[in-house]
Structure 1
Amino acid sequence: MTDDPLAAMLDLTPGSDDSMPRAARDGAGTLDASSPRIVSISDIHGYLDAARSALAAVGDHPDFDPLVETDGDGRLHWVGGDESVLVFNGDLVDRGPDNAAVVDLVERLAREAPPGHVRVTLGNHEWGVLFQDLVGWDSWFSGRRTDDDRRRLCEAIADGHVVAAYDGHAFTYAHAGRVSDYDAARLNDRLVEAATELRDAIGTDDDEATQKRLVDEYREVLGIGRGGGRAFGAGIAWLDFQFLSESAPPQIVGHTRQQQAVQKGNVVCENVIRANLETPGGEGVLVETDEEVVALERRGNGSVRKRELEIPDGE
């Protein structure tokens, strides 16, 4: 499947003006299931086949019931019930060949799962849809989104379907993370404020100026950081993993490429798809419950290995 350059961007609730209840928007603790397992995947970047393989790894390991099932056309469908949450931890698009199909996958699972059980955090490449004039990614999927697509993403944020951060059990999920303590609900409120302002400016003469102002005023959420991105001063969608110390808040992040999920003190980085594209296997997900956090990683022969990670002390 190849990209449709006119494909929409995260139209998660077509035909409905229903917003996500705030509690469900910000964390798993208020969902109907008392302690849902949380499956997370980051940095798909338009590589649909790797994403399918990673998500199917949950059911391909004997210790875990499946999260998705594959139909006759190869499409994934939700079978996780209300006992699972799936977090797409940013950077759904750009770089790979199947960006529109990845967006379609996220939309489909979000509609099939119970409300609040598929969550999307804002990655820097979703950020690129909103702030096109600040990065100039014209050759990428994000840079080719229309003004209507940009407004639609703003609306998805305003309705609570795309967030800056999401509280799990011991960990908070964010695309790039923060060095110091933060409150997911507050950052999500700040993101909503910024997206609402941007939505009203898109397509007007004030569009580019508004983009620049919002990135500066909401830098903890939207800031790029020094040197054009990823360094000190970067917000929760942009900060590089190297700047997160072992004592940073307990977080599961993506953004910085790894060959396997890497834990540094309180922080786990799960961005593995792109680093493993050249060889069979390597793609995977994290699974967090109130008792453990594990990486499920596809081997080159198609089997799945389970690797235990550490829950931070005191959690």
Structure 2
Amino acid sequence: MLTPQDSDAVSPPERDGVDALDPQTVTVVSISDIHGYLGDARSALLTLADHPDYDAVVEKDAARRLHWAGGEEYVLVINGDLIDRGPQSERVVEMAERLIEEAPPGHVRVTAGNHEMGVLVPELYDWSRWYSGTRSDEERRAFLQAVLDGHVVAAYEGHNVTYSHAGQPDPFTAREVNEELVEGTQRLLGALGDSDEIETQERVVESLPRVFGYDGETGRGPNAGLTWLDFEYMPEDAPPQVVGHTRQDTPVRRGNVVCGNVIRNNRRKEGGEAVIVETPDSIAALGRDEDGDVVEYVFSLPTMDEPRA
């Protein structure tokens, strides 16, 4: 479960945001909620290669496996929920591992979604029928280490927006929430396989709700953390963000927040898969139409009353 073998650990500040790279030359690409649907993810990520105004971020080989093609000019944010629901969770994880290993350090970022939480704190979810709920202790140990190595984060700061799986209505910095994820992960790793593991998972969720918390019967209530919050509860004046989690037919924007979770709502028809593309001066979505052609949706830049912390 996401255990890159040949990639160095990513530490702050590269772990946390594009400003640690060469921000004026980097384009950020985001895809969310792949959920084991490898073909749809492949199609979405190849939209840049199929659009005349963009260079490729990935390329496919003869076996249709994706490989990094973005050099140092791109950062790819896989914005949570790689796994579960679809039939190819293992192959999606392998794709993410391969891209992490092939890209320059810090250029492929995986944010934890609520289904990755099913690997971190599995005793609190009844997901034994899904990929996340059937990981062995050794697989979980390796995934926890991937968090500590900075390959899996809670959030990542782009040029004008912050990327996380579900977002938050109030301001936060990627470094703050990433440190909270690391703190909780260290505690979970220390208790792995011990008699008090369930209690440790409960205490982590209770003490670090901004990252690990869920709310209400569905988990998606207004007090949920940034892996669970439903887009319904994102206010118009929320800080600038790109999120997934809540299903949409096309990428949408509410106030300062863009939601790009479109794969599952388009599973039963041609086209619809999309990525979000951010430069210092623009934010847009590239998606497929019913003929497989690439369509660009351009959003105005979010309004920021104050610089981000």
What's the TM-score, normalizing by structure 2? 0.96
Alignment partners' CA distance in 2, 1:254 and 1:46: 15
What secondary structure, in the 3-state scheme, does the structure 1 residue paired with 2:15 have? helix
What secondary structure, in the 3-state scheme, does the structure 1 residue paired with 2:165 have? coil
What secondary structure, in the 3-state scheme, does the structure 1 residue paired with 2:272 have? coil
1:186-201 map, 5 Å: 186-201=176-191
Alignment partners' CA distance in 2, 1:123 and 1:171: 18
Q: Cα deviations across residues 251-305 of structure 1 (Å, max 9, x unaligned)?
A: 0000000010010010000000000000010001010000100110101111100
Give the counterpart of 1:181 among 160, 167, 171: 171
1:5 equivalent in structure 2: none
Alignment partners' CA distance in 2, 1:82 and 1:68: 12
**What letter matches 1:151 in structure 2?**
R
**What letter matches 1:70 in structure 2?**
K
Q: Say whether residues 1:171 and 2:161 are aligned partners.
A: yes
Q: Give aligned pairs, total.
A: 305
Give the counterpart of 2:72 among 49, 71, 82: 82
The Cα of 1:155 is off from its aligned counterpart by 0.8
Q: Say whether residues 1:11 and 2:17 are aligned partners.
A: no
Give the counterpart of 1:266 among 247, 256, 259: 256
What's the TM-score, normalizing by structure 1? 0.95
Alignment partners' CA distance in 2, 1:204 and 1:88: 32
**What letter matches 1:189 in structure 2?**
E
1:238 equivalent in structure 2: 228
Given that 1:33 and 1:83 are in contact with CA atoms closer than 8 Å, whether structure 2 keeps it comes out as no
Alignment partners' CA distance in 2, 1:35 and 1:120: 21
The Cα of 1:226 is off from its aligned counterpart by 2.3
Q: Say whether residues 1:57 and 2:47 are aligned partners.
A: yes
Alignment partners' CA distance in 1, 2:222 and 2:248: 20
Following superposition, which runs of at least 4 residues in structure 1 exceed 3 angstroms of deviation? Answer: 32-35
Q: Say whether residues 1:104 and 2:101 are aligned partners.
A: no
What secondary structure, in the 3-state scheme, does the structure 1 residue paired with 2:190 have? helix
Q: Cα deviations across residues 187-230 of structure 1 (Å, max 9, x unaligned)?
A: 10011000011011111101111111100000011001123401
> What runs of 5+ residues in structure 1 fail to find an aligned partner?
1-8
Q: Say whether residues 1:48 and 2:38 are aligned partners.
A: yes
Given that 2:251 and 2:259 are in contact with CA atoms closer than 8 Å, whether structure 1 keeps it comes out as yes
Give the counterpart of 2:17 among 2, 18, 27: 27
1:151 equivalent in structure 2: 141
> What runs of 5+ residues in structure 2 fail to find an aligned partner?
none
The Cα of 1:30 is off from its aligned counterpart by 1.0
Q: Cα deviations across residues 77-118 of structure 1 (Å, max 9, x unaligned)?
A: 111110100000000000000000000000001111100000
1:249 equivalent in structure 2: 239
**What letter matches 1:95 in structure 2?**
R
Q: RMSD across aligned C-alpha pairs, in angstroms?
A: 1.1
Q: Cα deviations across residues 132-183 of structure 1 (Å, max 9, x unaligned)?
A: 1111100000001111111111111111111111000100000000010111
